Amino acid sequence: MKAIVQDTYGSPDVLRFADVDTPTPTGDQVLVRVHAAALNARDWHVLRGDPYIARPSRDLGRRRPNDRIRGTDFAGTVEAVGPAVTRLQPGDEVYGDAAGAFAEYVCAPEHRVERKPANLTFEQAAAIPLAGQTALIGIRDVAELQPGNEILINGASGGVGTFAVQLAKVYGANVTGVCSWRNLELVRSAGADELIDYTTSDFARSDRRYDVVLDLVGNRSLRELRRVLAPGGLLILSGGGIFTGGSLFGPMGLMIRGALLSPFVGHRIVRLAVQSDSKHLETLREFAEAGKLVPIIDRTYPLAATADAMRYLEGEHARAKVVVTV
């Protein structure tokens, strides 16, 4: 099969469109014929091996990624299943996330795969898994938003941000989205009640206070982010950042400082951790089928042009989601 392979850290130039062996599902694995796959900020982090402190992690190795084939988010058709699979069968249209999604076929554990929303295309469905689950966990499980709560989302026009805006409205919050002027209409279309153009206004200097601040950028200090929180408010950190030439800590630096500061201030500061699960994907499917969640796709590229898609993503130009088709 054809796949996007990476054998060393570097720029998108290190990505190769190559022939590799088609995986075989075992145990609880599902083999999916990929029709579309989506890019996330984590993809350029793995591509670059950035931040350096994360290289001993599950995704990164000291000199090269632990998984040769890039990508995680996918949508496609079940081709075969392992003997322990119980929910899915060949022919099912599904979406989910697993290492190696930028390929014609991917093997994924059944608990990270769910039936595709019936009203979405494969491209739209592929845009959901990581970004959608990140937004869902942040909005529903961490923030526990209630009707009337005030939330500010910094980075509202990004992949996670556009889902977070929509989900915050599902749970009845009043949403203020921070983005650049060129993305104001996009974020408004996602459901934001108020908009802040960061090129002309600094939300950190506003007198407005919010119950929750969801930071998806990592470009502001803890003091600036906390300044707009109401007493007892919650700051959620999940900044993916952009590539700026390599870093030791990257957005993890802000999260580490937040964890150290949290016990000593009057606000809760939480790092958003995401564990992929079919139950989350099921909830997102239900929202999508009810018309409450609509993936927004900025650009699509053919699988062979994934390197070009990555260049676009990491250059801070991308809005919402970038998808590759197979």
Query: DSSP letters along 11-75, please?
Result: SGGG-EEEE-PPP---TTEEEEEEEEEE--HHHHHHHHT-SGGGTTSSS--SSS-SSSB---EEE
User: Cβ contacts of residue 133 below 8 Å, gap of 6+?
Assistant: 274, 276, 277, 280, 281, 284
Residue 76 has pLDDT above 70, yes or no: yes
Amino acid 246: pLDDT = 47
Residues 97 and 74: their CA atoms lie apart, in Å, by 6
Give the percent of the chain with pLDDT over 70. 87
Residues 301/318, Cβ–Cβ less than 8 Å = no
In degrees and rounded to multiples of 5, residue 186 shows phi and psi of -60, -50
Q: Are 321 and 298 in contact (CB under 8 A)?
A: yes
pLDDT at position 78 over 90 = yes
Distance of alpha carbon 326 from its chain centroid, rounded? 20
Instruction: Report whether pLDDT(226) > 70.
Output: yes
Q: Kindly report the pTM of this predicted structure.
A: 0.91
Chain position carrying tokens 């989910």: 96
Cβ contact 107:85 at 8 Å:
no
26-50 burial, b for 16+ CB within 10 Å, e for fewer? eebbbbbbbbbbbbbbbbbbbbbbb
Q: Is the pLDDT of residue 249 over 80?
A: no
State pLDDT tens for residues 158-177.
Answer: 999 999 999 999 999 999 99
pLDDT at 248 over 50: no
Choose the weakest-confidence range: 112-116, 158-162, 318-322.
318-322
**How does residue 123 score in pLDDT terms, banded at 50, 70 and 90?**
very high
Overall average pLDDT of the 3-31 stretch: 96
- Asked whether the beta carbons of 135 and 236 are under 8 A apart, the reply is no
Quote the pLDDT of residue 238.
87
Tell me what the pLDDT averaged over the chain comes to: 90
Of how many residues is the chain composed?
326
- pLDDT confidence of residue 223: 87
Calculate mean pLDDT across residues 298-307: 97
pLDDT higher than 70, residue 222: yes
Tokens of 45: 């982090």
Q: Per-residue pLDDT for 256 more than 80? A: no
Tell me the two tokens of residue 265: 């201030």
Contact 200, 180 (CB under 8 A): no
Backbone phi, psi, residue 268, to 5°: -85, 135
Using CA atoms, how far apart are residues 116 and 42, in angstroms rounded to an integer?
A: 23
- Residue ranges of the alpha helices (H) in 82-128? 122-126
pLDDT at 52: 45
Of all residues in the chain, the percent with pLDDT exceeding 90 is 75
Phi, psi of 52 (to 5 degrees): -60, -30
CA distance 62 to 56: 6
| 43 touches 74 (CB < 8 A) | no
CA-CA distance, 314 to 316, in Å (whole number)?
6
User: Which has the higher per-residue pLDDT, 248 or 299?
Assistant: 299
Answer whether residue 278 shows pLDDT above 50. yes
Beta bridge partner(s), residue 178: 154, 196
Task: Examine the pLDDT at 232 and tell me if it is beyond 80.
Answer: yes
145 HSE (CA, 13 A, CB side):
30
Going from the C-alpha of 272 to that of each of 79, 119, 142, 216, the distances in angstroms are 34, 29, 8, 10
pLDDT at 241 over 90: no
Residue 24: the pLDDT is: 97
Q: In the predicted model, is pLDDT for residue 183 greater than 80?
A: yes
Confidence of residue 315 (pLDDT cuts 50, 70, 90): confident
Using pLDDT thresholds of 50, 70 and 90, give the confidence band for residue 57: low
Strand pairing class (2-5; 16-19): antiparallel
pLDDT of 257 > 80? The answer is no
Task: Give the model's pLDDT for residue 269.
Answer: 87
Lowest mean pLDDT among 53-57, 108-112, 167-171, 195-199: 53-57
User: Mean pLDDT across the stretch 270-293?
Assistant: 95
